[in-house]
């Protein structure tokens, strides 16, 4: 994959994780939890990428099984690669942040 594509994938991952954490934090405002507890919930609910890796391999299997052209198989491989990037990045970040909070 091109470096630009990897950079866009990482940027998208950071934006989505930040958006999810912020929306979770603000959703918990009416829950009666204190700020530290809301922060913990926001961090604990960060995606751990287990579903993404299952979907990434499914996309590639589907493309190969149904005879997609070379371009579609390349895109499916790219989806699978991003799924692996997500699990290698999101799971440790979520685990470390949960332990630190």
User: What's this model's pTM, rounded to 2 decimal places?
Assistant: 0.67
Q: Shortest CA distance to 65 belongs to which of 51, 76, 55?
A: 76
For 63-76, b where at least 16 C-beta lie within 10 A, e where not — what string? beeeebeeeeeeeb
What per-residue confidence (pLDDT) applies to 49? 65
Token pair in block for residue 45 = 């609910």
Count the domains in the chain: 1
What is the full per-residue pLDDT of the chain (101 aa) written as tens digits? 678 878 888 888 889 888 888 998 898 888 889 998 888 888 888 766 667 777 778 888 888 888 888 888 888 888 888 878 777 777 777 778 777 76
Domain, as residue range, for 83:
3-100
């Amino acid at each position: 994959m091109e470096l630009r594509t990897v950079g866009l994938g990482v940027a998208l991952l950071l934006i989505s994780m930040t958006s999810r954490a912020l929306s979770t934090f603000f959703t918990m405002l009416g829950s009666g939890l204190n700020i530290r507890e809301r922060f913990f919930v926001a961090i604990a609910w960060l995606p751990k990428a287990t579903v993404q890796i299952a979907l990434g391999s499914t996309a590639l299997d589907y493309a190969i099984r149904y005879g997609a052209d070379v371009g579609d198989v390349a895109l499916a491989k790219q989806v699978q690669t991003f799924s692996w990037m997500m699990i290698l990045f999101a799971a440790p970040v979520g685990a470390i942040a949960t332990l630190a909070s």
